[in-house]
Structure 1
Amino acid sequence: MARTRAADFNEKRRSILDSAAAVFAKLGMEHASMAQIARENNVSKASLYHYYPSKEVLLFDIGRTHLVELEAAIRKADRPDLDPRERLRHLIGGVLENYRSASNFHHVLLNGTGSLPEAQRAELREMERRIVKALSDVLTEINPELGEGRAGVTPVTMSLFGILNWAYTWFKPSGALSRDGYADMVTALFLDGVTSLNR
């Protein structure tokens, strides 16, 4: 007979993911152990293995969970009724707001999923493509010629994500610049350049 799931299965699993992401971000994927993750979460190794049978399964679920939540944040922030420039500002704000509490998850996605099996990496890449497309579509609205030029809109969009993706390494919520202020700054800085790219 199959084992019945506990009523708080999803909450416990998320707690384990949070702890594992913190351990991976601090120690690196190769040096972190399941025993350390269990200690960080205050559970037994047997309990940890009930939820996640290996580090690889944990790594994949951290990456997948982060991308699911980032995509949801972008959908929530999207305002197709707005002028494209303002719409982009909302999307940038949605990304930065998601990153507010996801720095460990983001770190693991950027640095720890390269060793996963190809099928899992392909699944993560497909999720990333949808996220990139959400912003590239708006950038093309702002400057339709981006879709016709030599480089195309993808490198431009990836350059924007290059700005956003590394903010977690230096941005301080207690600093003089607020998260909203930084979203305004990124939008203005980036679009001043994007609108001059005519080929």
Structure 2
Amino acid sequence: MARTRAADFEEKQRSILTTAASTFAELGIDRASMAQIASRSGVSKALLYHYYPSKDALIFDIVHTHLSELDDALAQADDANLPAETRLRLIVGQLLEHYRNADNYHQVQLTGKNVLPQEMTDQLRAIERSIVARFSTLLNDINPKLDGETPLLMPVTMSLFGMMNWMYMWFRPNGPISRDAYADIVTRLIIAGSKSLV
């Protein structure tokens, strides 16, 4: 007979993911052990392995959860009835909002994929490609010349992600600029800058 899930399975799983992401971000992927994560999560090592049979499975689920929820949030924020520039601003804002309180998940995304088996990495990259495509499609709609003789669409798209993805290195919630204000800056810079290229 199949083992049934506990009523609080998903709540415990999310708690483990949050603690594991924090531990990996603090100690590094290589140095953080399953025993440390179990201890910090307040669960036994056996229970941790019940949820995640390996460190790779845990890293994968941290990144997969982060990317899947981001992809869904961007899809909900994007309104095809609006002009491309407005849509870009909306999804830039949504991505930066999704990163709120998710710095540890984001750091594991940036560093954890390198240690995972190819099959896991391929699954994560598929979601990343979906996310990147949403932004590059809008950038191309705003300025179709970016995809001309000199292909600039991907460099411009990845420059946009550089501005967004590394925000966690310097941004402070009580600093002189809000996430929303930074979303405006990023959007205006990338639109004006890309239009000046071609």
If the length of structure 1 is used for normalisation, what is the TM-score?
A: 0.96
Instruction: List gaps (5 residues or longer) in structure 1.
Output: none
CA RMSD of aligned residues (A): 1.0
**Alpha-carbon distance in structure 1 between the residues aligned to 2:101 and 2:6:** 27
Matched letter for residue 22 of structure 1: S
Correspondence for 1:85: 85
d(CA) in 2 for partners of 1:16, 1:30:
18
What residue in structure 2 maps to residue 16 of structure 1?
Answer: 16
1:163 correspondence with 2:163: yes
Native 8 Å contact 2:56 2:116 kept in 1: yes
Counting aligned pairs with the same residue, the percent is 55
The SS at the match of 1:12 is: helix
Conserved? CA contact 1:63–1:105, under 8 Å: yes
Amino acid at match of 2:60: F
Alignment of 1:127-146 (within 5 A): 127-146=127-146
- The 4+ residue runs of structure 1 with deviation greater than 6 A are none
Compare 109-118 and 150-159 and name the one that shifted more. Answer: 150-159
Matched, 1:184 2:191: no
Q: Is the 8 A contact 1:76 1:94 kept in 2?
A: no
Tell me if the contact between 2:156 and 2:190 (Cα under 8 Å) persists in the aligned partners. Answer: no
- 1:68-112 Cα shifts (integer Å, max 9, x gaps): 011012112212222211111101001000000211111001011
Q: Given that residues 66 and 105 in structure 2 are in contact (C-alpha distance below 8 angstroms), is that contact kept between their aligned partners in structure 1?
A: yes
1:119 aligns with 2:119: yes
Q: Secondary structure at the match of 1:113?
A: helix
1:57 and 1:196 mapped to 2: Cα distance?
Answer: 45
Match of 1:35 in 2: 35
TM-score normalised by the chain length of structure 2: 0.97
1:64 equivalent to 2:64? Answer yes
TM-superposition CA deviations, 1:35-94 (whole Å, max 9, x none)? 111111111111111101111100111111110011012112212222211111101001
Gaps in structure 2 of 5+ consecutive residues? none
Whether contact under 8 Å (1:88, 1:187) holds in the other structure is: yes
1:18 & 1:140 partners in 2: Cα distance? 36
Distance 2:185 2:80 in 1: 21
Q: Distance in 1 between matches of 2:172 and 2:29?
A: 25
1:118, CA displacement in angstroms?
0.6
In the superposition, relative to structure 1, how do residues 171 and 149 fare at CA in structure 2: closer, same or farther (>3 Å)?
farther
Distance of 1:29 and 1:39 partners within structure 2 = 16
Q: Which letter does structure 1 place at the counterpart of 2:51?
A: Y
What is the letter of the counterpart of residue 141 of structure 1? D
Describe the shift of the 1:77–1:4 C-alpha distance in structure 2 as closer, same or farther (beyond 3 A).
Answer: same
